Structure 1
Amino acid sequence: VLEAVNKHLRDVAAGISGLVGISVSDRDGLTLAKSSTEDSKINTSTLSAVFSSATEQAGKLSLGSNSSIITYTDKYVIVQAAHTPLVITFVGTEYLNVGLVMKAIPALRSKLENIREKVDSIISLA
């Protein structure tokens, strides 16, 4: 199952200009699948854990639920999307087409549904 997800991530990455990599992690940062076009120095595991916490805090603002966060740094653009308990992280150059990333998220969530359900059931047992 994860090999199919990795292949899908590679296919998605190939279609988005400026994309360096995609990772799928659980809410604690454990990487389940990833695809990278270059060796980025970004620790997506840490980003996933921070995203989970930030999303939870953003929910307390009474503005509705938060489903994604876009971060711009000097070297990278990072788009993170919730598929609770999973976090999908896209890392791109400053030229990343964020619109294409946002458009790709619903289909990727659909592809990850089986894994999401399994991770959710494991968490429920804990």
Structure 2
Amino acid sequence: MAEDIQEFFKTLLPTVDGLEGILVTDRDGIPIVKSTMTSIPLPATKPGFLATFSLASEQGGKLGLSHNTAIVSMYSGHQLVQFNHHPLMVTLIARDTANTGSLMGLENEILAAIKDLKIAVET
């Protein structure tokens, strides 16, 4: 199952100019499926870094901002778009010049691809 998802992600990477990686992790940032190009910044793929989205979502909920579904983070040279599909987190890593709207538009395709994986992790 994970290999099929990884292959699908490889076909998605060239669809958005600047998209360099797609990762599916658990809430602790542990990668389950990972498809990246060689130019991806390594710190962005570390579990400690990836888990910060989960923590930020929880803190936002405690502040009364309700359930967070996505976060866009901009860094010098790169951007991250992260989707919360409990119990899975999806992270898109792209160059800062990538179209953020196009990255956000991949959410439904990715969610359809990881539907069975999400069910497997939930049970």
**Same fold, judged at TM 0.5 (above):** yes
Give 3-state SS (helix, strand or coil) of 2:84's partner. strand
Which one of the candidate residues 90, 110, 116 is aligned to 2:118?
Answer: 116
- Using the alignment, how far apart are the partners of 2:112 and 2:7 within structure 1? 15
How many residue pairs were aligned?
121
- Aligned sequence identity (%): 29
Moved over 4 A (4+): none
SS at 2:106's partner residue? helix
**Of the candidates 71, 86, 89, which is equivalent to residue 87 of structure 1?**
89
Superposition pairs for residues 1-126 of structure 1, below 5 Å?
Answer: 1-40=1-40, 41-44=42-45, 45-121=47-123
TM-score normalised by length of structure 2? 0.91
In the aligned structure 1, how far is the partner of 2:96 from the partner of 2:29? 24
Which structure 2 residue ranges, 5 or more long, are not aligned? none
TM-score normalised according to structure 1 size: 0.89
Q: Residue 124 of structure 1 corresponds to which residue in structure 2?
A: none
Q: Which digits, 9 at most, give the CA deviation of each residue in 1:5-56, with x for residues without a partner?
A: 0011111111011111111111111111111122422332223211111111
CA RMSD between the two structures: 1.3
Aligned partner letter, 1:105: E
Partners of 2:66 and 2:44 in 1: CA distance: 28
Task: Give the whole-Å Cα distance in 1 for the aligned partners of 2:77 and 2:61.
Answer: 28
For structure 1, the 5+ residue unaligned runs are: 122-126
> Distance in 2 between the 1:92 and 1:20 partners?
5
